Amino acid sequence: MIIIPAIDIKNGQCVRLAQGDFNRVTVYGENPVDMARLWEEKGAQRIHVVDLDGSVAGLPKNASIVADIARSVSVPVEVGGGIRSMETIHHYLGNGVSAVILGTAAIQDETFVREAASTYPGKIILGIDALGGRVAVHGWTQKTGQDAVELARRYENDPIAAIVYTDIQRDGMETGVNVEATRALAKAVNIPVIASGGVASMDDIDRLLSVKDCSFFGVIVGRALYTGAVSLQDAVARAAKQASNPKEESP
């Protein structure tokens, strides 16, 4: 399992939202590119970027910044937020981004998602954001009745790279990752799952690492890294140790 720092961009700044609420914003940096470089220096193996403005608008609003991030670091960069067309996917992948995340499209336009996955196999990630197990779309501003696991299963036969599963209620709150819901999804599908939302301390990293009946590709950490509640270097080292000693219990 790899540790993936999150960089959320709003109005060109690096921010975090509380429970996806655009009225509860904390600014953590004026320059997202510098933040990406910092996380790479501290050992990040991958960086998760979200264009928050784009997620609501339905089209990229910070694409130039995302491209600058991808060019400025050597580790893979994944991006989500407002990606609803093949043109946008082509633009991002052609400008150094390693994978794009399709969230709203996953539930509203299956044909598009399948076309994207077949055109760019291994480059498409599903973003499944859920509240009480039910999917939310359009930057979490609209709730649906769609079950998260059922949605994931629709794409099992497509060349999807991974699923980012976010518990909205916990995101940005540092209340602890929803291990059970993430585990249930990982056990239900054969697509690699990335945990997201609520990581508060190293205990959450350990809880994910201690799951024995399935594995997670990675975990996205946001606010806890910015507040210092989690040290990226320590988290990366802990995950690496577990990978080299899989039978060893997490401390």
pLDDT at residue 169 in the model: 63
pLDDT at residue 152 in the model: 95
DSSP character string of 143-200:
EEEEEHHHHHHTTTTS---EEEEEETTTTTTTS---HHHHHHHHHH-SS-EEEES---
153-166 residue pLDDT tens: 999 999 999 999 98
Which domains are delineated in the chain?
2-244 (3.20.20.70)
Q: Which of 8, 51, 53, 171 is catalytic?
A: 8
93-133 residue pLDDT tens: 999 999 999 988 888 899 999 999 999 999 999 999 888 76
177-228 residue pLDDT tens: 889 989 999 999 999 999 998 899 999 999 999 999 999 999 999 999 999 9
Whole-number average pLDDT of the chain: 89
Q: Which of 51, 53, 129, 167 is catalytic?
A: 129
In the structure encoding, which two tokens stand for residue 44, read together? 């990040």
102 in Cβ contact with 135 (< 8 Å): no
Let me know if 129 is a catalytic residue.
yes
pLDDT at residue 198 in the model: 85
Q: Scanning the structure block, which residue is given the tokens 């893979």?
A: 76
